[in-house]
Structure 1
Amino acid sequence: MTDTTSRDYSETLNLPKTDFPMRAGLPKNEPKILDKWKDKDLYKVMRDQSAGRPKFILHDGPPYANGNIHIGHALNKTLKDIINRSMQMQGFDANYVPGWDCHGLPIEWKIEEQYRKKGKNKDAVPINEFRKECRDFADKWIDVQREEFKRLGIEGDWDNPYLTMRYDSEAVIANELMKFATSGQLYRGSKPVMWSIVEKTALAEAEVEYEDHTSHTIWVTFPVVSGNEALIGKKVVIWTTTPWTIPANRAISFSKDISYGIFKVTEAAEDNWAKVGEEFIIADKLAESVFEASRVDAYERVSDVDVSTIEYCAHPLRGAEGAGDYFDFNVPMLAGDHVTDDAGTGFVHTAPGHGQEDFQMFLDNREAFAKAGTEQVPMTVQPDGSYYPHVPLFEGKYILDRKGKEGSTNKAVIEKLVEVGGLMARGRVKHSYPHSWRSKAPLIFRNTPQWFVYMDKELSEEAKGDTLRSRALKAISETRFVPATGQNRLNAMIEARPDWVLSRQRAWGVPITVFVNKETGEVLKDEAVNARIFEAFQNEGADAWFEEDATQRFLGEGYKADDFEKVDDILDVWFDSGSTHAFCMERREDLSPKRRGLGGDDYVLYLEGTDQHRGWFHSSLLESCGTRGYAPYDAVLTHGFTMAEDGRKMSKSLGNTIAPQDVIKQYGADILRLWVGSVDYAEDQRIGPEIIKTNVDAYRKLRNTLRFMLGSLGHYEGEEVALADMEELELLMLHRLAELDVLVRDAYMAFDSKRVFSTLFNFMTVELSAFYFDIRKDALYCDAPSSKKRKASLYVIEQLFRHLTMWLAPILPFTMEESWGYRYGEATTSVHLQQFPAVSSAWRNDELAAKWEKVRAVRRVITGALEIERREKRIGSSLEAHPTVFVSDAELMGALNGLDMAEIAITSQLNLSADGAPEGAFVLEDVTGVGVVPGLAEGNKCARSWKILPEVGTDGEYPELTLRDANAMRELDSAAV
C-alpha cells in the first residue's frame, strides 16, 4: 500500500501552466510587438497573403500635418484600424494607405505666426521660398504623427502614404480642376462669401465655427420717396446687427404675410432720436419693442399700411455732407420669403454684397435693382476689411483690425447716421456668429470675385437636368450611410448649397491653373496647355506655376502671354482632399477599386467625424460627381466628437483634455483601443480618468480569462474529440461559439465593434469565467489524464481560445498577438495573418441551448442561496454545502434529468426533489417553481479536490481521497513508475 498520509496532493493537480503574465506591462511590451511586426514585415506579408481577394478599401480622410495627434485622431484612426483588420480577417484584401492634408491655411497660418514673432513680412518673401517653408513644416509633422499613429497599433502602408503636397498629387489635383474648366463647370463670379479679414481669404463652411459674439445693433430709418403718395415722408424702419453694412444697402425686403402699421410718436424727450410727430412704418407685432428700444414715452397706431405700394425709399445717408451723390440711388421695396416678424422691425436691410439671402434677392430681382440704379452688386470692402477709396465717408476705415478686434467702421457709421437723423435707436446684442476656427476672429460676408463651380448648370445638352447637384443627390441615394441619419444630413446640405467656391487668396496650395483671355474674359480651354501644366507639376510640383516665365512656358508658342491673365488664386484645400480618390485610389494598383456597378465587387468606405458631411464627404462627392458622374465611395461612416467625461467639450483652459500619448505611456495603446472598441461612436463619446480606469478593470478581467485558457492549454496535446464523446456542457460551449460566429461576423460587417466587444466580453467574464470554467476547474485540475471529460474540456478550451483571440484581434491587436505567441510560439506566425475560423454547422444545437437556459435558471437559484450561506459564514466555500433543491416545475425538472447538479452548482452533494418548496426556502422571483433549502455536506474532506463526501476513506490505497481522485492518483502514480 502507498503511504499517503503526508503527501502534498497539490503537486498532483493539473493546475494552469503558462508564462503569460497576469500584469500586462503594455507600455513596455507593445513597442516590442511593433518591432516584431516590423522585423517580419507584417504589412507586406498581409498584402502578399491577400492578393487576389476582393478589395475592401477604407480610404483615409487626411488629417492636417500641423501638430501632435489628439484624442479625436486616436478615435478616428483606431476605428479605421479595427474595421480594416476585421475585414482582412474575413477574407478581404484590406489595404490601408494613410494620407495627410498638407496645403492651406492650417499650415500657412503657422508659418505666418512665426513670421509675426520675428517681425517678418510675408509679402516681402518670394512666394516659392515661403511655400518651401510650408512644405518643410508639413514634412516635420507628418513624421511626428506617423510615429504616433503607428504606436496606436495602426497597420498600414506607412512607408508610402499619400500626401496632397507630393508632386504627383499636385499634378492630379490641378488636372482635376482643369477638367472642371474644360467642361465649362468652372466660372469666375462675384458674390458674397464668408471672408476672414485676419487671414485675408474666403473660407469654406467647414472652416467656420459659430461662437457667441456681442454686436452693435441699430434701428435705421429709410424715408419713403415714391409710390403711394400718402406714405411719402414717412419712414420705414430696419434693424441690423452689422452697422458697417449700411453703406452697402441697396434694398429693403418685406413679407406679404406680415401685418404692418403706421405709428406716430406722441411723447418723447426733446433730444430723442425719434421725434414727436414723426411717423414710422413697422410690423405690428414688433412695434412695442422698437419704441421701447427708441426710448419713446408714448406712441399711437395711425393706420394699416400696404407696404407693397411703396416703390422706393431714400438711403439714410443720401445728401450727407461729404458723400457727394454716392448715396443718391433709390432703395426699392421688395417682397422676400426670408422676412419674419420674430425679431427686428419686420423689414430686412438688404446689402447684396454682404449676405447670402441679400445676394439671392439681387439675383431674383435684377430688373428692380437695375431700375433703381443698382446694376451690379456693389463692392465696398477690401480684402483687409477696410472700405474701398470710392466709398465716401468711410474710405479706409476697418471693420476689424489684423487681430480680429473691432475696427472703426461701426462707430463711424453710427455717428454719421445720428448726424443725418437716420438713426432711431441703438444697442448691443449677444448672438451666435461665424468665426474662423483657426484665427478665432469673427468673419464677414464680403462680395468679391471668386472662382466657382456651377451646381445647377446642365452638363450636356443631351441630358436635361444633368447637373452637379442632381448627380450628387443621385449618388447619395445609392450610398450606404452608417448611421443612416448621415444620408439625410448630407442630402439636405447638397440640396441647399450654393455654387461651390474653389478659390482662396493664399500662397500655399495648388493654384487654380487656368488662363483667362483679357479681352473676352473666357477661360482658355486647350488640352495641350493643360498637358504642359500637368507634366511640369509632376516633375517640379505646383511651385512651377509661380516661376517668372510660367505664363509663356505653359501657353506655349501658340499664344501671347500679354493676352492672358494667369490666375494665381489657390484652390480650396477641400478640393485637394476631395481629389484623393483620383491621385491615391485610382493611381495605385493595390487600391484602385473595381466597384459594384462598375465591373467589380470591391468596396470603398469613407470614415470620418460628423463634421465631414460639410467637409471631406461633401467635397469628395462633388469632385467625383463633377468629373466622373458618381460618388467615390460605396459607404460613408461617421463618428461623433470626443468629450470630457462630464460631457463638456475638451479644453486646455478647463484642464479636461486627455492626450492619447499620456494614456499610452501610463496604460498602453490597447487600453485606448479597448475604449474605442467599446463606445458607441455614432454619438459623441466621453473619456476621462474614471472612464479609463473602468476600461483598465475590464481589460484585467479579459486578460485573466485569456491567462486561464492558456494555463489550461499548457496540458493540452492537440487531441481532437468527437462530439459524441462530449458531455452537454462542452456541446453547449461549442453551440455558443457557433452563435457568436454569426454575431461577430455580422457586427464587424456592420462596422459595429461595440457589439463585438460587449458580447465577447460578457461571454468571457460571465459564461466562461463565472460559469463554464468555474464548473470545469474540478475536472481540469483533478481528473485522470485519461478522463474523457477532461480531454473534451481541453479541446473546447482550445476552440474557445482560437476563436476569441482572432475575433478580438482587430480591437486589441497587441494583447491578442501576445496571447497567440504564448500559445503557438512567437516564431511561428501572427494572429493577424489568420482568417476568422470556420465554425462547424454540427456545433449549432438550439435545442440543447434552450434546455440549458432552464438548467442555468435553476443553478442561479442554488448559487443565490449559497451566497447567503457564505455571507452569514455558515459555509466557507460551496463545496461545504449539501443543498436540497425543490423543482416543482415539470419542464425545469425534465431539463435536469441525467445531469450532475452537484457538479454544475459546484457543491459536494445535492438532492433534487419534485415537491414544492417548503416555507422558508430560498427562491428567486424570476424563476418560478424552484426553491432551495441549504444544508451542510456530510462526510470527510478530500485532501486533493476538497470535496466532502461519505466515500472519502473507503479506498484502501488512497483513504484521504474521493474515489475519483483515488483512481486518478493510481493512473498518475502508475505512469510515474
Structure 2
Amino acid sequence: MCADTPEYKNTLTLPETDFPMRAGLPKREPAWLERWEKIGVYDRLREKTGRKPFTLHDGPPYANGHLHIGHALNKTIKDMIVRSHQMMGFDARYVPGWDCHGLPIEWKIEEQYRKKGKNKDEVNVVDFRQECRKFAEGWIDIQREEFKRLGITGNWADPYVTMDYHAERVIAEEFMKFLMNGTLYQGSKPVMWSPVEKTALAEAEVEYHDKESFTIWVKFKVAEPADADLAGAMVVIWTTTPWTMPSNKAVVYGEDISYGLYEITGTPDECWANVGDKYLLADNLAGDVMARARLEEGQWTRVRDVPTSELEGLALTHPLYGAEGSNGEWDDLRDFRAAEFVTDTEGTGFVHCAPSHGMEEYELYRDLGMLEQVITYNVMDDGGFRADLPFFGGSYILSRKGGEGDANKKIIDKLVEVGGLLARGKIKHSYPHSWRSKAPVIYRNTPQWFAAVDKAVGDGQDEMGTTIRERALNSIDQLVKWWPQSGRNRLYSMIEARPDWVLSRQRAWGVPLTCFTKKGALPTDADYLLRDPAVNARIAEAFEAEGADCWYEDGAKERFLGADYNADDWIQVYDVLDVWFDSGSTHAFVLRDREDGTEDGIADVYMEGTDQHRGWFHSSMLQACGTLGRAPYRNVVTHGFTLDEKGNKMSKSLGNTIVPEAVVKQYGADILRLWVAQTDYTADQRIGPEILKGVADGYRRLRNTLRFMLGNLNEFEAAEAVDPADMPELERLVLHRLAELDAIVRKGYSEFNFQGVFQAIFNFATVDLSSFYFDIRKDTLYCDAATSADRRAARTVLDILFHRLTTWLAPILPFTMEEVWLERFPGDDSSVHLVDFPDTPSEWADEALAAKWAGIRQVRRVVTAALEIQRREKVIGASLEAAPVVHVADADVLKALKSVNFADICITSAVQLTGDSSPAEAFRMPESEGVGVVFEKADGEKCQRCWKILPDVGSHAHEGTCGRCSTALG
C-alpha cells in the first residue's frame, strides 16, 4: 500500500516508530536491568495492597560454580511463574536462595589444601569452616549476577542463604524437634559410604556409572549334612564384591527355587574344581556356573533333586575356615536359611550375606533379631580393612583416588590359595558413584543418626497421620497438586519404600547435630539422648548470634549444658547434618520467619527438576512432616533434563554443552527465555545452535508484529477510541479472539503451561494478526482519512491488542516487552512490569460472529491460493490487479460474504460473488467444497494513492485518485 507519486505518498498515514527491526538484545538488555533496579520494580510491586499472596519457594542452587543450562531453564521457569501470577493480580513473592553447606564446598577446600601439601585434619575446624564460608560467599555473588542477567525478578538484595546465622539456628532447631519428638535415634546399619570423602551419602548424592568389577564364584562347605551324600558338598555363591567376603556371616536360598546336587566327573587342565566335588546349585543356573568354572558337558552330572526342606537346618563353613594364620576369625559356622530376595535369574541361586554391607541382608537379620551375631566392623571410614584383620588388614577397597584398591585381589588370591574359589571373572555393570568425587561408593555398616519414618511422631499434629511416612503419603494425595501428575507417582513410590532417613555426615562444613549422648549408655536406653528444652534454647540463641561455628569452640559443651549437668557425663556429637536436611528445612526460616514469607509457612509452589523427587521435594516433605505434620507446598512443578540437539546428555568431554552466558552474549537473554517457553519442559528438552537459530527466527516474526502495532499507534489518544459495539465486524472478530485468548492465557499461566501460552499468543500474532487482520487493515490505516470511523476502530483495536500482547508476553520476554512498552509510554517510573493483565470484557465473546467469519476466512483462503497461481505465472504482480469471480454453493456463506466488503478482505480491487455453479476452469481446493474461483483482472485505472484498480479513478477532484482517496485528500 504505497502511492505512486511523491505528493500522494506524503498524504498517506504510514507507520511511524523508532522501534528497531534489529533487537540488539545482548547490548541493550543490561540497561533495562539497571533501570528496573533503579526504579525498584520488585519493591514497588510489594507496595500494592489488597492482593492475595502467592509464593514460589526457591529450591536453592549450590554455591560452587558458574551457571549451567539447567540452572537457566530452572530459574527462567520460576521467573515466568512469579511474573505471570503477579500480573494476574497476586502479590507474587520470590526470595532467591542458596545451599551453602556440605561436601562439594568442603571438597574444594580440601583440594586446595592438597595442592599446598596441607592436611585438613591438622587445621583448626573453625578456621576450616571459615574458609568454606568465604568460598560460598564468593560464588553467591557471582551466581546472583548471572541469574539477574537472565531477567530473573526477585528479592536479590535480601536472599536466603543456608549458612546465615539465623538459618543455621533454625536448621538446628528443626533438628532438635526430631530430637524432642522421639523420631531421632542412633543406629548402625549399612549406608552408602564414600571412602574417598569419608562420609555417608544420601541417594540424592549418588549417580550411576558403568564400572568393571571383579566377580567370583565361592565355595561354602556343608558342615552338618542331613544326608550322607551332602557330606562335604559345597554351596556355591556368586558376588561382584569380593571385598565383602571377610564380612560374610551367612548364605541364603530361595524357598521356591529348584535346586540340585551336582558332581564333577572330569576336569580340564586349568580348573579349580576337582573330580568328585559335589556342588549345590540352582538348576536354572547350574550350566552357566559349570561353564564359568571351565567345565564342559560330560564333566559333571546332576546327582539328584535337593528340596529346600532338605536345606533347612544345614550350616556352612566359610571358605577361610581353619586357614593357617586366621586366628579363628572365620571359624564360626555360617547361618543358612531362606530369604525372599533370592532369585535364580543370575548367579548360583544362593546369596552370600554380609549384613554390614547390604540392606536386604541387614533387614533380614534385623527382623530375625540376630543383628548382634552378624554385624561386623571390618571396613574403616577410608575404605581400608581394620589393621588386625587377618590376611587383609590395611588393604584398601579403593585407591586414594577412587580407583581399584588392593583388597579385592588379596581376597581372591587368598581364596584361590585355600581352595575356596570355583571361578572368577569381571563384569561391567551400573554402579553407584559419588556425584562429587566421581569415585565408587560402598555399603558400609557404621553408626549413624536416623530419623525414624515409621515411628509415631510425638507432636500431636496427627491430621495427616501419626508417622512421617503416613503424613507424607497422605499429603501427596490430599494436599498437593502435581504438574505433571507423574511427579506424584514418582515421589509416592519413593516414600512408600524408603528406609529411615540418615541424617548424619562425618564432615566439618555444615550444621552440627546439636545433641548430647550419655556416657556409658546404649543407644537403646531411654536416657541415651539428652532432651532438655533449656539446653536447646541456649544452643539456638548462640547460633543466632555467632553461627554454628560456636559448636566447635573450646568449652562449647560446658556452655550449652550449663550448670544443670556435669559435662564429663555427656558426649558432644560432632557429625554434621545431611545438606538435604538443610534445604529441606528452608521452609521454616524462609516461609515462616521472613516478612515476605507466608502466614502458614506453606509455599504455593515448589519447582525443580525431576531428580528432586529423590532430592529437595523428598527431603522437604520428610522434614516438614516431622515438624509441621504435613507437606510444605501446595503445588509441585517438575521439569526434565536438558539434552543436546541429538538428544544426548551434555558433557564437557563430548563438547556438546551449552553455556547460558554464551547464549546471552550471542542472542540475548530473551531468546534463551523464549527457548524455555517454547519447549515442553515437563519432559527432557533439547537445545543447540540450530534450535536457538529457529527460536531467534520466531522472535523476529513476533517483533515485526509488535513493530507494526507501534507504528500504527503513533499519536493515538484515548479520545480517538471507538466503542466496540460501533466497530466493524472484522474488529469485533479480533475482540472475540482476544476474549478466547484471555481465557487460554490465564488458564495456561495458572497451570504453569508456558508452552501452551506462548504457542497460542504466537499463532494469534502471526496468523490472525500479521497474515490476516493487519494485512487487510493496512489499506484502511494508511489510506483512510485520519478521522474515518473504520480507521479509528482499527486503531482502537491495535491499542487493545497492545495492552494485552505486551502484558501477556512480559513474563516470557521481559526485556522486549519493556522495550515495546516504553516506546509508547516513556517515563522515569514507567514499566510494563508494574501493570496487570487487562480485564477482558465477557461481552467481547461472540460465537455467532466467529462462526460466520470462519466461513468467510475459508473462502478467502481459496481466493488467495487462486491469485497466488496468477502471481507465480506473472499474470499479475499484486492481488489488487484482480477482480475474481467467486462461486459459493452454500447460501449462508454466500450471504455472509455479501454482508462484508469481501474485496477488501481478499485485498483485491473488486470481487464478484455468485451462487451459480462453478465452471470447469474454476480454481478449487479439496478442503473447501462448494467454492470455486475464476480469475478476472480488475477493470478501471490504478489509483495513484492506494493502488486499487477501480472504474471511478480519474473522475474526482484529485487527479488519478479513487473516490475514497479524493475524499481523504479533502
TM above 0.5, yes or no, is yes
1:593, distance to aligned residue in structure 2 (A) = 3.2
- Residue 208 (structure 2) pairs with residue 205 (structure 1): no
- Tell me which moved more, 328-337 or 481-490: 328-337
What is the match of residue 548 of structure 2? 542
- The structural deviation recorded for 1:712 is 0.3
**What residue number does 1:598 align with?**
none
- 1:270, distance to aligned residue in structure 2 (A): 4.4
Unpaired segments ≥5 residues, structure 1 = 596-601, 971-977
Distance 1:874 1:119 in 2: 85
SS for the counterpart of 2:862 is: helix
For the pair 1:355 / 2:353, whether they are aligned, the reply is no
Residues 308, 333 of structure 1: 8 Å contact kept: no
- 1:651-674: CA deviations, max 9, x gaps? 111111111101111111100111
Moved runs in structure 1, 4+ residues, more than 4 A? 4-7, 460-465
Cα distance between partner residues in 2 of 1:562 and 1:52? 58
User: What CA deviation, in whole Å up to 9, does each residue of 1:307-341 have, x standing for no partner?
Assistant: 34332111111111111211011112221111111
Distance in 1, Cα, partners of 2:642 & 2:329: 53
Q: Distance in 2 between matches of 1:76 and 1:815?
A: 21
Cα distance 1:545–1:694, how it changes in 2: closer, same or farther (>3 A)?
same
Distance 2:437 2:615 in 1: 19
Q: CA deviation at 1:724?
A: 3.2
- TM-superposed CA distance for 1:257, in Å, is 1.5
Distance 2:398 2:735 in 1: 71
1:330 corresponds, among 329, 333, 349, to 333
**1:526 aligns to what?**
532
Shift of 1:558: 1.2
Secondary structure at 1:94's aligned position in 2? strand
- The verdict on how the C-alpha distance between 1:238 and 1:165 changes in structure 2, with shifts beyond 3 A counting, is same
Q: CA deviation at 1:13?
A: 0.7
Cα distance in structure 2, aligned partners of 1:6 and 1:81: 51
Q: Verify the 8 A CA contact 2:5 2:944 in the aligned structure 1.
A: no
Q: Return closer, same or farther for 1:828/1:943 CA change in 2, 3 Å cut-off.
A: farther
Cα shift readout 1:279-323 (whole Å, capped 9, x = no counterpart): 101111111110011001221111000234332111111111111
- Which of 77, 80, 90 is matched with 2:78 structurally? 80
- Measure, in 2, the Cα distance between the counterparts of 1:5 and 1:735: 37
From 452, 455, 465, give the equivalent of 1:454. Answer: 452
Provide the secondary structure at the position in 1 that maps to 2:444.
strand
C-alpha deviation, 1:10, in angstroms? 1.0
In 2, Cα distance between equivalents of 1:226 and 1:307: 15
Using the TM superposition, name which of 577-586 and 263-272 deviates more: 263-272
Aligned to 1:14: 13
Equivalent position SS for 1:565: strand
Q: Distance in 2 between matches of 1:563 and 1:711?
A: 82
Structure-2 change in CA distance of 1:308 and 1:315 (3 Å): farther
Q: Residue in 2 aligned with 1:499?
A: 500
Are the structure 2 counterparts of residues 301 and 960 from structure 1 closer, same or farther at C-alpha, using a change threshold of 3 Å?
same
CA contact 1:227–1:309 (8 Å) conserved in 2 = no
Q: Look up the equivalent residue of 2:19 and give its one-letter code.
A: F
The yes-or-no answer on 1:566 pairing with 2:566 is no
Change (3 A) 1:793 1:774: same
Which whole-Å deviations, capped at 9, do the CAs of 1:612-667 have from their partners, x for residues lacking one?
A: 00001111111110011011101111100111111001111111111110111111
Paired position in structure 1 for 2:919: 918
Look up the match of 1:99: 97
Q: How does 1:512-911 map to 2 (within 5 A)?
A: 512-521=513-522, 522-594=528-600, 604-718=604-718, 719-911=720-912
> For residues 410 and 739 of structure 2, what CA distance do their matches in structure 1 show?
77
In structure 2, distance between residues paired with 1:593 and 1:741: 31
Match of 1:218 in 2: 216
| Aligned partner of residue 366 in structure 1, secondary structure | coil
Q: What residue number does 2:267 align with? A: 268
Separation in structure 2 between the aligned mates of residue 870 and residue 704 of structure 1, nearest angstrom: 25
Give the drift of 1:274.
Answer: 1.1
Cα distance in 1 for partners of 2:363, 2:779 equals: 80
Q: After superposition, where does 1:43-62 map in structure 2 within 5 Å?
A: 43-49=42-48, 51-62=49-60
Matched residues in 1 for 2:603 and 2:883: separation? Answer: 60
Aligned equivalent of 2:322: 319
Deviation at 1:461, TM superposition (A): 11
User: SS in structure 1 opposite 2:785?
Assistant: coil
RMSD: 1.5
What residue identity is the alignment partner of 1:139?
E
Distance 1:77 1:183, change over 3 A: same
**Cα deviations by residue, 1:836-879 (Å, 9 ceiling, x for unpaired):** 11111221101100111111100111111111111111111111
Change (3 A) 1:6 1:312: closer
Letter paired with 1:903 = D
1:286 aligns with 2:285: yes
Q: Which moved more, 1:831-840 or 1:892-901?
A: 892-901
Contact 2:113 / 2:119 at 8 angstroms: preserved in 1? yes
Q: How much does 1:892 deviate?
A: 2.2
**1:419-455: CA deviation from partner (whole Å, max 9, x where unpaired):** 1111000000000000011111111000000000101
Residues 385 and 154 of structure 1, relative CA distance in 2, 3 Å threshold: same
Please tell me whether residue 254 in structure 1 is matched to residue 257 in structure 2: no
Residue 7 of structure 1: CA displacement?
5.2
Counterpart CA distance in 1 for 2:211 and 2:87 is 51
Counterpart in 1 of 2:397?
399
Tell me, in whole angstroms, the C-alpha distance in 1 between the residues paired with 2:600 and 2:101: 30
Q: Which residue of 2 aligns with 1:385?
A: 383
Cα distance in 2 for residues equivalent to 1:536 and 1:39: 38
Q: Determine helix, strand or coil for the equivalent of 1:922.
A: coil
Query: Which is further off, 824-833 or 489-498?
Result: 824-833
- How far apart are 1:519 and its partner, in Å? 2.3
Query: 8 Å contact 2:39–2:829 — kept in the other structure?
Result: no
Q: What is the CA-CA distance between 1:6 and the residue it aligns to?
A: 6.4
CA distance in 2, matches of 1:658, 1:931: 52
User: Which letter maps to 2:654?
Assistant: L
Task: Tell me whether 1:70 sits opposite 2:68 in the alignment.
Answer: yes
SS in 2 for 1:263: strand
TM-superposed deviation, 1:603: 5.5
AA partner of residue 616 (structure 2): W
Structure 1: how far apart are the matches of 2:654 and 2:143? Answer: 25
1:55 and 1:593 in contact (8 A); partners too: no
Write the mapping of 1:86-485 to structure 2, written as runs, cut at 5 A: 86-230=84-228, 231-297=230-296, 298-310=299-311, 311-367=314-370, 375-460=373-458, 466-478=466-478, 479-485=480-486
Alpha-carbon distance in structure 2 between the residues aligned to 1:530 and 1:783: 80
- The farther-off stretch of 240-249 and 221-230 is 221-230
Partner Cα distance (1:400, 1:74) in 2:
37
Aligned length: 954
Q: 3-state SS of the aligned residue for 1:253?
A: strand
Q: Secondary structure of 1:702's partner?
A: helix
The 3-state SS of whatever aligns with 1:707 is: helix
Distance 1:605 1:848 in 2: 40
State the Cα distance separating 1:362 from its structure 2 match.
1.4
State the distance in 2 between where 1:592 and 1:872 align. 68
Question: How far has the Cα of 1:923 moved from its partner?
Answer: 1.2
Other-structure match for 2:525? none
In structure 2, what residue type is equivalent to 1:312? A
| CA distance, structure 2, for counterparts of residue 461 and residue 94 of structure 1 | 32
Mind listing any 5+ residue stretches in structure 2 that lack a counterpart?
A: 523-527
Residue in structure 2 matched with residue 973 of structure 1 by the alignment: none
Whether the aligned pair in 2 keeps the contact of 1:249 and 1:351 (CA below 8 Å) is yes
Helix, strand or coil: the match of 2:289? helix
Q: How far 1:460 sits from its partner (Å)?
A: 4.2
Residues 391/293 of structure 1: CA separation in 2 closer, same or farther (3 Å cut):
same
Q: The residue matched to 2:817 in structure 1 has which SS?
A: helix
> Contact between 1:253 and 1:334, CA under 8 Å: does it hold in 2?
yes
Change (3 A) 1:392 1:936: same
